Copies of this chain bind each other. A is one copy, B any other.
């Protein structure tokens, strides 16, 4: 029985697991849509009722799934005692995500709380998509690349921050006397700098003086380089990863690296 449920919920590649995952993903995406519909005012009572029913249905499904996952936690999160396994699952990342995703429905029955704020936790269901067994390897790879290039990204962030600050300061001194309402202080100026360096493009804070326009142009051109930098880093990371994985696939060994736990030649 436990093994059967495990097969459905977790075993990668089995037919029942594929059907279950497809069903859950559909349910999650419909839930996201429902959360969006909930914010529309003056909805027809009929639609509101439908949304309530759908919400109740989803909660039942997700609650059953959560209980089943606790039930099979011995297999997914082995510990010495049954309680230990259950607790290990409940405090794992996805265990907490599962709990947070269903909690907002039960809270008003337990304590009195502002429903509006709590509802946002329903969005946590979306994290579940990243649990899909099929995409495990891919997500792991993307995550590895980001983690390995962490210090490169931090440096890029600091370089960008420096550029943002310097250009915001220069812009403030240049444009503040002419447009005191738009370049009121450094923070307005920073807002301009972010708009210029990213594709925001609201155009609500634009330079009017010639030096202001020259600074804008220079910042925008340097900004392209700053978009190119993380892209180049990510590219290099992926290529490095793929080539080392290819090597790994070719050489079948048993030695394991003490740092990352992966196989060595």
Contacts and interface: CB of A to CB of B under 8 A. Distances in A.
Interface in A88-125: 120, 123
Nearest to A129: B158
Contact of A230 (B137, B141, B166, B224): B224
Contacts of A126: 161-162, 165
Interface residues of A, number: 92
A260 interface: yes
B220 A229 contact: no
Query: Majority SS of interface residues in chain A?
Result: helix
Interface of A: 32, 35-36, 38-41, 120, 123, 126-127, 129-130, 134-135, 137-139, 141-142, 145, 148, 151-152, 154-156, 158-162, 165-166, 169, 172-173, 184-187, 190-191, 194, 196-204, 206, 210, 213, 216-217, 220-221, 223-244, 247-248, 257-262, 264-265
Q: Which 8 A-B pairs have the closest CB atoms?
A: A201-B201, A232-B234, A236-B238, A198-B220, A36-B186, A228-B231, A235-B235, A257-B257
